[in-house]
Amino acid sequence: MMTPTPAVLIENLNFSYGAARVLEQINLSIMPGEFIGLVGPNAGGKSTLLKLILGLLEPQTGRIEVLGQTPRRAARRVGYVPQFPNFARDFPISVVEVVALGCLSGSAIWSQRRAADRAAAQQALAEVEALDLATRRLGTLSGGQLQRVLLARALVSAPEMLILDEPTANIDQRVEGEIFNLLATLNQRLTIIVVSHDIAFISAYVSRVACLNRTLLDHDTAAVDDHIMSQLYGGHIRRITHRHPHHD
């Protein structure tokens, strides 16, 4: 039987910003259909690793393949939800326009598919249960609403993989659960990588946890114990086991 091509294959990856080494000897293989949680302390290199996978940064040494291609080529097949949006919140644009812009690509510069893209945007908004926001101005959205809109923008181009950087960092716990339930549904057809600071919360949703603090430790969710946690965060960590109300 043929082994499927990994969605992400990283071999011996190193990356530095100037003299500061951020990632060291990273090896990671993510198979299609996986739901991976990438956790670790602040400045541990999580966002940098995502940017390398997305082709926004080039590794100094090592190899990255995404969906069997170079990261830059594969970026169009990947949906991305950033931690800090790179736009001004008061930009004069409606929600449906933001999502429709996700349909644009470099290969269709001359195409004028405005109506088709708008219809696709409405469908993507419906999928994230945010169709009622379509005509709203971007600046009037709450944190949770904005995350749903950015998720719709990532989904509108029908990607094969979804990458989310701290998607629930600035929203309340109830909405956090709703968004992760949505991701669990999307995982039925998409490979998902999610960066999070909250290992306890995401472990209920993800199939595997990759712990990153300059180097990477890869574990099944069940295997994350006190020893791994203190190795990752570099100090004494007390783990509290608790249940979340939104798991089912």
Cβ atoms 222, 243 nearer than 8 A? no
CB of 161 to other proteins, least distance (A): 12
Residue closer to other proteins (CB basis): 84 or 185: 84
Structure tokens that stand for 117 in this block: 């893209």
Footprint on residues 75-104 left by other proteins (CB under 8 A) = 75-76, 78, 80, 82, 85-88, 91-94, 97-98, 101-102, 104
- Does 56 contact other proteins by CB under 8 A? yes
Cβ atoms 44, 216 nearer than 8 A? no
CB of 81 to other proteins, least distance (A): 10
Which of 1, 20, 106, 235 is in the footprint of other proteins by CB under 8 A? 106
Q: Mask of contacts with other proteins, 135-164, x by CB under 8 A?
A: --x---------------x---x-------
- Does 122 contact other proteins by CB under 8 A? no
CB of 173 to other proteins, least distance (A): 24
Of the candidate spans 13-21, 108-116, 121-129, 198-206, the one that interacts with other proteins by CB under 8 A turns out to be 108-116
Q: What are phi and psi of 31, to 5 degrees?
A: -90, 155
Outline where DSSP puts E strands in 111-238: 161-165, 191-196, 208-213, 215-220
CB of 77 to other proteins, least distance (A): 10
Can you tell me the distance from the alpha carbon of 131 to that of 135, in angstroms, rounded to the nearest whole number?
A: 9
Cβ atoms 156, 167 nearer than 8 A? no
- Does 105 contact other proteins by CB under 8 A? yes
Cβ atoms 41, 213 nearer than 8 A? yes
Cβ atoms 81, 182 nearer than 8 A? no
Q: What are phi and psi of 120, to 5 degrees?
A: -65, -35
Residue closer to other proteins (CB basis): 163 or 229: 163
Can you tell me the distance from the alpha carbon of 16 to that of 193, in angstroms, rounded to the nearest whole number?
A: 22
Query: Which residues contact other proteins by CB under 8 A?
Result: 54-56, 75-76, 78, 80, 82, 85-88, 91-94, 97-98, 101-102, 104-107, 109-110, 114, 137, 153, 157
